[in-house]
Structure 1
Amino acid sequence: MRGRALLNLSERVTGGKRLQRVLPFPWEAAARQDIHTAVLAIHTFFARGIPLDQCIALATGSASPAEDDSTPEEVVEPIQATDWQGLVAQYRDHKISSGLIKQTTWDRTYAARMQRLVEATKGKTKPSTPRQLLELLTQRLKDQPGSRGRQVVVQQAAALLRWAVDNERLPQEWAPPLVLSSYTGRRREPKSVTTPIGVDDILLLVESIPDSRWRYAVQLLASFGLRPEELQHLELREGRLWCNYAKVSSRGSTRPRPLRVLPCDAWAQEWRLEESFSSTRMPPMRPGFGSQDLKNYLRRRPLWDQLRHRYALDGEKLVLYSCRHGYAHRAHVICDLPPKVVAAAMGHTVETHLAAYSKWCGDEVVDDAFDKAARLLGERQAQASGPAT
Structure 2
Amino acid sequence: MAFKRHRQGRSGWFIELKGDRLRVRSAELPPRPDEAPDAPPKRRDAWLSTPPGPATFKDALAEACSLFDSVMAGTWRWPDPDALPTEGEAGRLSPATLRRLTDRLRAALVGERIGASTWSRTYLPYLSRLVEVAGSRVWPDDRDLLEAVLRHWEPNSRARQMAHDRIRALWKEAGWEWPEAIAVMRGNGKAAAAAEGVRAFNDAEIQELRARLLRSYRLTPADLVAWDCLIVFGLRPAELQGLELRTDNGLPLAQVTRTKRSSKGSSGPRAVPAVPPEEWPADCFELVLRFQEHGLPPGMVAARSPGEVLGQQLGRLMDRQPVEIALPRELTPYGLRHAFALRLGLQLGLHVRESAQLMGHSPQVHLSTYGRRLDAPKLLATVRDRVMGR
**Distance change in 2, residues 1:237/1:267 (3 Å):** closer
Q: How far does the alpha carbon of each residue in 1:261-291 deviate from its partner, in whole angstroms, 9 at most, with x for none?
A: 0277644623333343268532633633222
* C-alpha distance in structure 1 between counterparts of 2:375 and 2:340, whole Å: 17
Note if contact 1:233-1:244 (Cα within 8 Å) is conserved in structure 2.
yes
Aligned to 1:277: 291
Aligned to 2:184: 181
Q: How far does the alpha carbon of each residue in 1:208-231 deviate from its partner, in whole angstroms, 9 at most, with x for none?
A: 021124333221111110112322
Aligned to 1:234: 243
Matched, 1:217 2:226: yes
Matched, 1:287 2:303: yes
Q: How does 1:308-323 map to 2 (within 5 A)?
A: 318-323=331-336
* C-alpha distance in structure 2 between counterparts of 1:258 and 1:147, whole Å: 35
- Specify the code of the residue in structure 1 equivalent to 2:143: R
* C-alpha distance in structure 1 between counterparts of 2:289 and 2:336, whole Å: 21
Note if contact 1:298-1:304 (Cα within 8 Å) is conserved in structure 2.
no
- Specify the code of the residue in structure 1 equivalent to 2:234: G
Secondary structure of 1:205's aligned partner: helix
**Distance change in 2, residues 1:135/1:333 (3 Å):** same
Aligned to 1:207: 211
Unaligned runs of 5+ in 2: 1-86, 384-390
Task: Return the offset for 1:351.
Answer: 1.0
Q: How far does the alpha carbon of each residue in 1:175-194 deviate from its partner, in whole angstroms, 9 at most, with x for none?
A: 24365333659989966743
Choose from 133, 156, 170 the match for 1:146: 156
Choose from 242, 247, 261 the match for 2:260: 247
* C-alpha distance in structure 1 between counterparts of 2:261 and 2:320, whole Å: 30
Matched, 1:90 2:104: yes
* C-alpha distance in structure 2 between counterparts of 1:305 and 1:247, whole Å: 37
Task: Return the offset for 1:355.
Answer: 1.1
Secondary structure of 1:226's aligned partner: coil
* C-alpha distance in structure 2 between counterparts of 1:309 and 1:261, whole Å: 26
Note if contact 1:264-1:334 (Cα within 8 Å) is conserved in structure 2.
no
User: How many residue pairs align between the two structures?
Assistant: 283
Q: How far does the alpha carbon of each residue in 1:41-61 deviate from its partner, in whole angstroms, 9 at most, with x for none?
A: xxxxxxxxxxxxxxxxxxxxx
Unaligned runs of 5+ in 1: 1-73, 371-389
Note if contact 1:135-1:183 (Cα within 8 Å) is conserved in structure 2.
no
Secondary structure of 2:149's aligned partner: helix
Note if contact 2:127-2:167 (Cα within 8 Å) is conserved in structure 1.
yes
**Distance change in 2, residues 1:244/1:125 (3 Å):** farther
Secondary structure of 1:194's aligned partner: coil
Note if contact 1:308-1:318 (Cα within 8 Å) is conserved in structure 2.
no
* C-alpha distance in structure 2 between counterparts of 1:118 and 1:236, whole Å: 49
Choose from 195, 201, 213 the match for 1:197: 201
Note if contact 1:264-1:335 (Cα within 8 Å) is conserved in structure 2.
no
* C-alpha distance in structure 2 between counterparts of 1:291 and 1:343, whole Å: 21
Q: How does 1:103-142 map to 2 (within 5 A)?
A: 103-121=116-134, 123-141=135-153
Q: How far does the alpha carbon of each residue in 1:141-171 deviate from its partner, in whole angstroms, 9 at most, with x for none?
A: 3xx333222222223212322x22xxxx244
TM-score by length of 1: 0.60
Q: How does 1:25-104 map to 2 (within 5 A)?
A: 76-78=89-91, 79-80=93-94, 83-96=97-110, 99=113, 101-104=114-117
- Out of 235-244 and 273-282, give the one that drifted further: 235-244
* C-alpha distance in structure 1 between counterparts of 2:325 and 2:108, whole Å: 40
TM-score by length of 2: 0.60
- Specify the code of the residue in structure 2 equivalent to 1:273: L
Note if contact 1:214-1:282 (Cα within 8 Å) is conserved in structure 2.
yes
Task: Return the offset for 1:301.
Answer: 1.8
How large is the Cα RMSD of the aligned pairs?
3.9
**Distance change in 2, residues 1:264/1:116 (3 Å):** closer
**Distance change in 2, residues 1:332/1:77 (3 Å):** same
* C-alpha distance in structure 2 between counterparts of 1:362 and 1:332, whole Å: 10
Matched, 1:338 2:347: no
- Specify the code of the residue in structure 2 equivalent to 1:91: L
Q: How far does the alpha carbon of each residue in 1:108-133 deviate from its partner, in whole angstroms, 9 at most, with x for none?
A: 32233233333433x23244533233
- Which is greater in Rg? 2
